Structure 1
Amino acid sequence: MTDVIVTRGLVKRFGRVTAVAGVDLRIPAGIRFGLLGPNGSGKTTLVRVLLGLVHATAGEVELLGEPMPRRAARVLPRVGAMVEGPAAWGNLSGRANLRLIDAAGPGGGRGRRQRVDEALERVGLGGIDRRPVRAYSLGMRQRLGIAAALLRAPELLLLDEPTNGLDPRGIGEMRDLLVALNAAGTTVVLSSHLLGEVDALCHRVGVMDAGRLVLEEDMTVLRAPTGRVLLRTPDPAAVVAELDGRVVERSGDLVVVRHDDPAALNARLVAAGVRVAELAPERRSLEQVVLELTGQGADRVDTSGNEARR
C-alpha cells in the first residue's frame, strides 16, 4: 500500500524549545488516521511542517510521494487542510470567501460556482445568506473552514480539531462526511483531543507526547482483548475458590480473572455450579492507552510544597 505521508527523523525547534523530536511516521493511502496527544505535545506543529507552513529543523517529509516543502506547488493542490482553526475574511460572506480561496487554486474559474455550492452543501451550509463571516457562530466558521478544504476534491485531507465548536449533531454529521469522503478514496488525517471521536472514526492512531511519537498502531490491535475477563457474579467467593490463582482482582460482585477464553471460563464456572450474571473479555479503551503514554500536558500548572500560585 502506498504511503501518503512519510517523515524520517523529523525535528522542529523554536529556539531552545523542541516541538517535534525525531518523528518517524508513515500513513498509508486510503485510511482514516487520528493524531492524538495532550495540548503542547507537538501535534499541530507536526501538521504545519507536513504542509510546509513551517520548515523542519532536521529530517525529511514526503507528501503524496513528493518531498516537502520543495514540491509544495505540485503537492498542495491535491491536499485539503485546516490548521489551527478556519481562516477567513470576516467582512465577506462565506460564499465570497470560498470563491477567493478557489481562485488561488489551479484551473482558473471554470466550474467555480458549482465547486463552492457543492462544498457548502456537503458541510451543511448550503442555505447560508450574505451575512459576513464575522457574524457566524464558531460552529459555522468551522464548517466553512472544512468546506474550503474540500473545494478541490483532495486526495489527502489534513484537519486540525475539525469538530471544534460543533454541537453533538454537528459532530455526528462531520463524522459521517469524513467516512463518506474516505470511502470515495480520500485519505483522512485528523489531529484531535477528542478521544471518543477518534475511537469512533479512525482505523489507525498515532500518539504524541512532548514532541515524540510514542505510539503508532491500528485500532484493531489497541482494542484486542488483554487476556483478562471481567466477571460479575453473586458468588465471588465461589469463583475465587474454583479458579485458584487466576483471580487478579475482586471488588464486590466484580471479579477480574486471568483467562484467554471467556467461553471456556463460563462453561467451567457453570459446570461447577457458580452463578454467572455477566462475563466479557477486558479491552483497553483508547483513553487508557493515551493516558498511559502521555504526560499531563502543557496547559496544566501545578504547585509543589509551599510555593505560591502565580
Structure 2
Amino acid sequence: MSDPTIRTRGLTKRYGELRAVDAVDLEVGEGSVYGFLGANGSGKTTTVRMLLGLVLPTEGYAEVLGQPMPSARTSVLPQVGALVEGPGAYDHLSGRLNLALLDAAGPDPLPRSRRRARVGEVLEQVGLDPADRRPVRAYSLGMRQRLGLAAALVRRPRLLVLDEPTNGLDPQGISEIRALLLALNAEGTTIFLSSHLLAEIEQMCTDVGVLDRGRLVLQERLETLLRPTGLVEVHSPDAATAARLLGDAVVDVTCARLLVRAEDAASLNHHLVTSGVGVERLGPYERDLEQVVLEASSAPPAPAELPRAEVLSA
C-alpha cells in the first residue's frame, strides 16, 4: 500500500459502556478509492466524525494527510472535501449562492472572480445547472445530494470523505457520479466513501474495510478479496453421501451445496457420478462482495449510533 492518507491506531469511541468504535486500525493509501462498509449502527459515521475532528476519540489516534487529528484540523480540513450524513444548505438560497457563501466563509477564500468561475465549474461537474436560480428548498433529494458533492469539491481537495454520495439518485445519476469520482481519483484525489450499495463499491473501489459492531473485521485490496478461491461448488441431492466420499477435501456443506478443494472440476464430477452421487450443478466457487461482507460480519447490526456528543467547536 502507498503512503497512507488516513491512518488510525486503536481508534475507540465509548458512550458509557457501549463501544461505538472499538480499536479500529485503518490504512487508506494515497490515491486509493476506499470503500467503508458496515450495517447501520456499526460505527461508520462515528469513525468518520473522528477522522474529521468533529468528535474526540476515547482512546487511540487518527492521522489525516500525515497530520494528527483533531489537533491539526485547521491545516488539514481545507484540503479535505466532506459529505457526511446528507448535505447542509440554506434552503432559501440558490445552489450557486450556497457554494459562494461556503467558500467566502472558509479560511482561505478565493477572489470573487475566481470564486464565481469555480462555483460554476463544480455545479456543472455534478450535473447541476449553474444558471438555476431556484432556492434549494425546491431541489429534489438527488439534487441536494449533488449540491453537497459540489460543496465538497469547491476547494479541489486532496481527500474526499463521502457518506452515501449517491443517496437519492436514479440509476443514471449514480452512473454519472461514479464516473465523476473515478475521474477525480484518476487525477490524484484519494476517496474514502461509505455506502450500502455494494455493487457501486465493487465497481469503484480499490480497497475495502468492513465494520461490525464497531470493530474493523476486514481490510483488504478488493482484487484480493474477489480473486478465485480455488474451490469447486457442488450442488447435489446426495450432499451427505458426497461429503463422506470426498472426506477432507470438503471445506463446507450447506444443505445441498458443498465447497470442495479440487484441482480439476471435470475429474471431480466424474468421480462423483461414477460413485453413484447425483450432481445437479458443479463449477468454480466465486464470491462477490456481498458474500465477502456477510462472511466477515459475524453478528446482527448493533443499535443505532448514539447522539453527537463532544462535538468540537471550530
In the aligned structure 2, how far is the partner of 1:250 from the partner of 1:144? 47
Aligned to 1:305: none
In the aligned structure 2, how far is the partner of 1:52 from the partner of 1:214? 24
In structure 1, the residue corresponding to 2:230 is in which secondary structure? strand
Are residues 128 and 214 of structure 1, via their aligned partners in 2, closer, same or farther at CA, if it must alter by over 3 Å?
A: farther
C-alpha RMSD of matched pairs (Å)? 2.9
Show structure 2 runs of 5+ residues with no match.
305-314
How much has 1:289 moved relative to structure 2? 2.1
Aligned to 1:308: none
Aligned to 1:183: 186
* AA matched with 2:38: G
Q: Does 1:258 align with 2:260?
A: yes
How much has 1:230 moved relative to structure 2? 3.6
Aligned counterpart in structure 1 of residue 232 of structure 2, from 223, 229, 233: 229
Q: Indicate if the aligned counterparts of 1:38 and 1:297 stay in contact, CA closer than 8 A.
A: yes
Aligned to 2:151: 148
In structure 2, the residue corresponding to 1:102 is in which secondary structure? helix
Q: Indicate if the aligned counterparts of 2:123 and 2:147 stay in contact, CA closer than 8 A.
A: yes
Q: Indicate if the aligned counterparts of 1:228 and 1:256 stay in contact, CA closer than 8 A.
A: no
Aligned counterpart in structure 2 of residue 122 of structure 1, from 112, 116, 125: 125
In the aligned structure 1, how far is the partner of 2:104 from the partner of 2:254? 65
* AA matched with 1:258: V
Are residues 266 and 19 of structure 1, via their aligned partners in 2, closer, same or farther at CA, if it must alter by over 3 Å?
A: same
Aligned to 1:22: 23
Are residues 93 and 207 of structure 1, via their aligned partners in 2, closer, same or farther at CA, if it must alter by over 3 Å?
A: same
In the aligned structure 2, how far is the partner of 1:11 from the partner of 1:269? 50
Deviations 1:73-132 (A, max 9, x none): 111111110111001011110000000111123143251011111111111003551111
Q: Indicate if the aligned counterparts of 1:123 and 1:147 stay in contact, CA closer than 8 A.
A: yes
How much has 1:178 moved relative to structure 2? 1.0
* AA matched with 1:188: I
In structure 2, the residue corresponding to 1:88 is in which secondary structure? coil
In the aligned structure 2, how far is the partner of 1:250 from the partner of 1:131? 57
In the aligned structure 2, how far is the partner of 1:170 from the partner of 1:161? 13
Aligned to 1:75: 76
In the aligned structure 1, how far is the partner of 2:138 from the partner of 2:267? 63
How much has 1:19 moved relative to structure 2? 1.4
In structure 2, the residue corresponding to 1:11 is in which secondary structure? strand
How much has 1:166 moved relative to structure 2? 0.7
In the aligned structure 2, how far is the partner of 1:153 from the partner of 1:260? 51
In the aligned structure 2, how far is the partner of 1:146 from the partner of 1:214? 29
In structure 1, the residue corresponding to 2:148 is in which secondary structure? helix
In the aligned structure 2, how far is the partner of 1:71 from the partner of 1:91? 34
* AA matched with 1:62: E
| Moved segments of 4+, more than 3 Å | 230-233, 243-252, 264-274, 276-280
* AA matched with 1:51: L
Q: Indicate if the aligned counterparts of 1:11 and 1:21 stay in contact, CA closer than 8 A.
A: yes
Deviations 1:22-54 (A, max 9, x none): 111111101100110010010001001100111
Show structure 1 runs of 5+ residues with no match.
301-310
Q: Does 1:220 align with 2:223?
A: yes
In structure 2, the residue corresponding to 1:284 is in which secondary structure? coil
Aligned to 2:210: 207
How much has 1:259 moved relative to structure 2? 3.8
Q: Does 1:93 align with 2:78?
A: no
* AA matched with 1:120: L
Deviations 1:186-209 (A, max 9, x none): 001101122121112111111111
How much has 1:231 moved relative to structure 2? 6.0
How much has 1:292 moved relative to structure 2? 2.5
Are residues 91 and 125 of structure 1, via their aligned partners in 2, closer, same or farther at CA, if it must alter by over 3 Å?
A: same
Aligned to 2:4: 3
Aligned to 1:133: 136
Q: Indicate if the aligned counterparts of 2:96 and 2:130 stay in contact, CA closer than 8 A.
A: no
In structure 1, the residue corresponding to 2:35 is in which secondary structure? strand
In the aligned structure 2, how far is the partner of 1:113 from the partner of 1:189? 28
* AA matched with 1:285: D
Instruction: Quote the sequence identity (%).
Output: 55
TM-score between the two structures when normalised by the length of structure 1: 0.84
Are residues 279 and 292 of structure 1, via their aligned partners in 2, closer, same or farther at CA, if it must alter by over 3 Å?
A: closer
Q: Does 1:286 align with 2:300?
A: no
Deviations 1:118-148 (A, max 9, x none): 1111110035511111111000000000000
How much has 1:59 moved relative to structure 2? 1.2
* Structure 1 range deviating more: 127-136 or 66-75: 127-136
In the aligned structure 2, how far is the partner of 1:227 from the partner of 1:203? 22
* AA matched with 1:196: A
In the aligned structure 2, how far is the partner of 1:82 from the partner of 1:250? 42
Aligned to 1:174: 177
* AA matched with 2:301: G
